Structure formats: C-alpha cells, structure tokens
Amino acid sequence: MLLEVRNVTKWYGSKKKIALDNISFSLDRGKIVGLVGENGAGKTTLLKLIAGFVQPSTGEILIEGRKAGLLTRKFVAFLPDTIMFEKWMRVSDAIEFFKDFYDDFDVSKAHDLVGKLKINPKEKIHQLSRGNIEKLSISLLFSRDTKLYLLDEPLAYVDPVSRDFIFEMILQNISEEKSIIISTNIISEIEHIFDEVIFLNHGKILYYGSTEKIREQEGLSVNQFLKEVLKNENA
C-alpha cells in the first residue's frame, strides 16, 4: 500500500481547534484522488501531514510503510496553496533550485512543460500573473519522478484553456506506481479525472470511495452526490 492514514487526529492550541478527527483510509498505487470539502474542512492539514511537514497529534501516517516525515519526503511531491518562490527568482532560477534540491527532478522535462505553457524562463516570477505562477508550480511538481503527488487547490487561478493542459499533464504522469491527491473546491470541472474521492467535513471523512461507483450506482455526478451526502449529514 502506498499510503496509510491510521486513526489520525490533529489539533492546534491545546486541543481547542481540531482540524482532523480520528480519520483513517488507505490509498493504493495508480490512483487519482479528489480531496474535497468546504474551506476549513481539514484538507490542507491532511496534505501537510502526508507530506511530513507537520505531525499528527494522535495516530500515524505511513508512506511506503515508513512513518511520514523527513525520510519519506523523497516519495512525496507537495504543491501548497501558497506561492513557494522567492521574489528575486526568475523562472529559470526556480528550475535550477528544484534541480539542486531534488535528485528526482528532470530539468529537460521542466523546460518542456514551461514552454508548452508559454512561460518565459527569463521572466521574473514576481511579475507573473497568479495563474502563471500556479502553472509554473505544477510544471515543476510533475518534473519530479516520485511516488505520491499532493496538490492543494492547484486550479484556483488557472484559466480554462490552461486547465485542459494541466488535466492532460496530470493524466500523463499517473502510472501503476504513482498516485495523485488533488485538493479542490472546483469539483464539477475536475471530477472527470478522479478515480476516487475523499469528502472531508469538519475534520471527518463523510465519504471515501470510487467515483465510477457513484456514477453507476447513484446515477449522479460526483458533485451532485456529495451535495446529497452533506444534506443527509445536516438533516
């Protein structure tokens, strides 16, 4: 199993704020998973835990059988929802930074993806639009050859035409050995690429399962089904 989340709870400030409440699930290889839920549901916290940047308050997370942390980061590529570049950097500097920092980084692939997205390598990053910064970030993420890719709200500022290219990029980077978890609020536009979906609400998992099963057995889109789940939860 690529990823195991076992009875994980995460709180902040002497248990006054519970971000995740005793959640468990496992993820096999070769999957694209949607991580959905309203703002504050715990999506970002979960991705940071899996990436090994924070530790659970209770429970454990295993990646390739190892406890998530410094030693598992070589198996995980994480794209946060914040800008991760220094203001002085040019696009080419960001590519060089990733090359120096990650042994699994493919420089030629990065230049190819950046070129296809029409981003000038000589341009200063602080002069790029937020959408182009996201496209650059996604290009660098998928220029790594690793096991698990985590994307936190990657499409919020990307124009519709570029989204199609990014969907293609995601699909091209999935394989029998790799999985991708995408946190998003834009469910209707991206659900067609999801194999599975995790629905978080107030730190709990309301649903985790196959999107194909939702469509075949419920006769609903993923977005419609999750609205029904939430309606029943609040009834």
pLDDT of residue 230 exceeding 90: no
User: How big is the chain, counted in residues?
Assistant: 235
Bridge partners (DSSP) of residue 144 are 105
Structure tokens at 179: 């999985």
Domain locations in the chain as residue ranges: 3-234
Calculate the dihedral angle through the C-alpha atoms of 36, 193, 133, 114, rounding to the nearest 10 degrees: 160
In angstroms, rounded to a whole number, what is the distance separating the alpha carbons of residues 202 and 38? 9
State CA 214 to chain mean position distance.
22
> What pLDDT, on the 0 to 100 scale, is given for residue 235?
63
More confident residue, 47 or 230: 47
The answer to whether domain 3-234 has CATH 3.40.50.300 is yes
Q: State the average pLDDT over residues 221-232.
A: 90
Query: Cβ distance 131 to 162 under 8 Å?
Result: yes
In angstroms, rounded to a whole number, what is the distance separating the alpha carbons of residues 78 and 137? 10
**pLDDT above 70: percentage of residues in the chain:** 99
In angstroms, rounded to a whole number, what is the distance separating the alpha carbons of residues 8 and 82? 24
pLDDT of residue 17 exceeding 90: no
Q: State the average pLDDT over residues 188-202.
A: 94
Confidence grade of residue 12 (pLDDT, cut at 50, 70, 90) = confident
More confident residue, 74 or 87: 74
Q: How far is CA 22 from CA 108, 124, 159, in A?
A: 42, 43, 37
> What pLDDT, on the 0 to 100 scale, is given for residue 231?
85
For the purposes of burial, counting CB atoms within 10 Å of the CB of 196, is it exposed (0-12), middle (13-18) or buried (19 or more)? buried
pLDDT, tens digit, 9 for 90 and up, residues 53-77: 999 999 999 999 999 998 898 999 9
In angstroms, rounded to a whole number, what is the distance separating the alpha carbons of residues 106 and 7? 36
Q: How far is CA 8 from CA 59, 113, 143, 170, 183, in A?
A: 4, 36, 30, 28, 18
First CA to last CA distance, the chain: 36
> What pLDDT, on the 0 to 100 scale, is given for residue 55?
94
DSSP state of 192: G
pLDDT of residue 165 exceeding 90: no
Q: State the average pLDDT over residues 156-166.
A: 82
> What pLDDT, on the 0 to 100 scale, is given for residue 233?
81
**pLDDT above 90: percentage of residues in the chain:** 69
pLDDT of residue 213 exceeding 70: yes
Confidence grade of residue 232 (pLDDT, cut at 50, 70, 90) = confident
pLDDT of residue 211 exceeding 70: yes
Q: State the average pLDDT over residues 84-88.
A: 86
